[in-house]
Amino acid sequence: MGKGYNSAIAANPYIVGSFACIGGGLFGLDISSMSGVLSNDAYKTVFAFPGPNAQGAIVASMPAGSLVGSLAVTYLADKIGRKKVIILSGIVWVIGSTLQAAAQNRGMLVVGRVISGMSVGLASTTVPLYQAEITAPSIRGRMVSLQQWSITWGILIQYFIQFGCSYINGTASFRIPWALQMIPAIILSLGMTIFPESPRWLIDHGREPEALEILADLHGGGDQNAELVQLEYEEIKQQVYFEKTEGAKSFADLLKPGIFRRVVLGTSLQMWSQLTGMNIMMYYIIYVFQGAGLTGRRGNLIADSVQYVLNVAATVPAIIYIDKWGRRPMLLIGLAFMGFWLFLVGGLQGHFGHWGDVDGSRVWVITDHKSITKAIIVFSYLFVCSFAITMGPVSWTYPAEIFPMRVRAKAVALSTAANWTFNFALAWAVPPGLATIAWKTYFIFGTFNFAAFIHVFFMYPETTGRTLEEIEDVFAQGHVFTAWKIPKDVGKRSLTDVKRDNEKYVDEKSSDA
């Protein structure tokens, strides 16, 4: 019987750690599949010229489905494995994209977006989980942060497809981009069939020989006796066996001392990633630049595309250096800058803007102040870059690495569900918000960034460079409200240390029996 995966692929940490990120790209595709059609006349005609509330509902239907998909992972990832859930996400995406491309009315479009959202929920939860469990500690942050980079690529690629198709007359201008987004999902589902399953999931299901073989291919060039292979194998076994003696894996475990603290951290970080205002900049950037005084569809589309290019480019330094810079510094610096840029945008909008009419809609807009318009666009770009190089990658990496094996799938799913809950609420609320309180919206999101800064400073310990099992020791130190006091060498163990602990644990169990 074959291995069920390609050994050569498994031996390359960058291929095995990055391919699943296509699942993140689906999220990006969906974001710009909407932002690129908001000024499309054919789209407006087919879907009955949706107003702020209706457009918010259409956009929010995707994160609503994503919430359902992410919660489904709490069962599916433990039951059928990480790999199969990722394959399933691609299949569901094709169904949703088909319905969107064929949509004849708002109802059909919303159903298609909900189904696509379910796919995004499955993928966005499982991909970081899979990456964290299958990559070496030294590059784990880099690999998981590729999830965010793939999102930025999805946004950029779909937006340029939308841009090009905007010159087509009729409904093909939006149907073609919505149909083309099936291609990466098909590649994802077919490609994942030659990738290995998570060795941690296999050990948890009593398939230790398979897990050791995969670990050897992943981290030892096929050598099962390589030190890193043995270290991870022994650590995972110790953790899994300990957890099996603790009882069944249930949602009640999430409330246990030591675990609940991490649940709060994971869900809060995903919540803050939405409350920074970044996805609003992605969904509704046309409205933002329109209010800044940038008129004309072509000019707005070009300015938007620059932002999406910057989003991709600024994520690269984070991918390269996340395992050197550390999670805490990246979060703190990013949140401080994002709050600053949003307050600048809100201040300029409030001082120089006024209520006016743009394309028949009442909009808070800046007119006859070209320098201010350019300043707001630049500050918006700087905000996007600040997110891309800090919060974006860390918001996916941190929740995927802080939980013990027995609750990891459930806890990561719950964290991602928090992301989608706030994504849904904000996607629906922001268009009416911009139409009523206008520039004050930026102050609200700026304040959220500064609140998140305080939360991270006091409560988020550093996790860089440790195996998933060693992170247990980090949280065992306590320091719930003084996270900066946890020493950097906490949790570091050698293979000898792990084997000694395993032998001690086995002896204790034998004596108890």
**pLDDT score of 287 more than 90:** no
**Alpha-carbon gap, residue 1 to 439, rounded angstroms:** 63
CA–CA gap between residue 322 and residue 143 (Å, rounded) = 10
Beta bridge partner(s), residue 354: 365
The percent of residues above 90 in pLDDT, for the chain, comes to: 48
Per residue in 494-510, pLDDT (tens digit) is 667 666 665 665 555 55
Token duo for residue 325: 């810079």
Q: Which of 189, 51, 127, 164 is nearest to 400 (CA)?
A: 127
Task: Output the pTM of the full model.
Answer: 0.81
If you average pLDDT over every residue of the chain, what do you get? Answer: 87
**Confidence tier at 369 by pLDDT (50, 70, 90):** confident
Q: Which residue has the higher pLDDT, 118 or 155?
A: 118
Residue 467 has a pLDDT of 79
Residue 145 structure tokens: 């942060």
The total of other beta-carbon atoms located within 10 Å of residue 281's CB is 21
pLDDT at 94 over 90: yes
Q: What is the pLDDT of residue 343?
A: 95
Q: How far apart are CA 196 and CA 193, in angstroms?
A: 8
Domains of the chain in start order, with CATH, are 1-197 (1.20.1250.20), 255-506 (1.20.1250.20)
pLDDT exceeds cutoff 70 at 198: yes
The model's pLDDT over 4-58, given as tens digits with 9 standing for 90+, comes to: 888 888 888 888 888 999 988 898 888 778 877 877 889 999 999 988 889 889 9
Higher local confidence (pLDDT), 436 or 174: 174
Tokens in use for 177? 């981009």
The backbone torsions φ and ψ at residue 385, rounded to the nearest 5 degrees and listed phi first, read: -65, -40
- Host H or E run for residue 387: helix 370-388
User: Residue 332: pLDDT above 80?
Assistant: yes
Q: At residue 257, does pLDDT exceed 80?
A: yes
Would you say residue 89 has pLDDT above 80?
A: yes
- 398/323 Cα distance (integer angstroms): 12
Contact of 78 with 253, CB cutoff 8 Å: no
Mean pLDDT across 145-160 = 89
The SS3 assignment for 167 reads: coil
pLDDT given at position 1: 38
Joined together, the tokens standing for residue 71 give: 């919660």
Alpha-carbon dihedral angle through residues 250, 253, 254, 259, given to the nearest 10 degrees: -150
Q: Supply the angle between the helices 327-352 and 391-401 in degrees, to the nearest 10.
A: 140
Query: Per-residue pLDDT averaged across 327-335, rounded?
Result: 96
Alpha helical stretches, state H, 135-258: 140-165, 172-180, 182-191, 199-204, 208-219, 227-244
Report helix, strand or coil for 364: strand
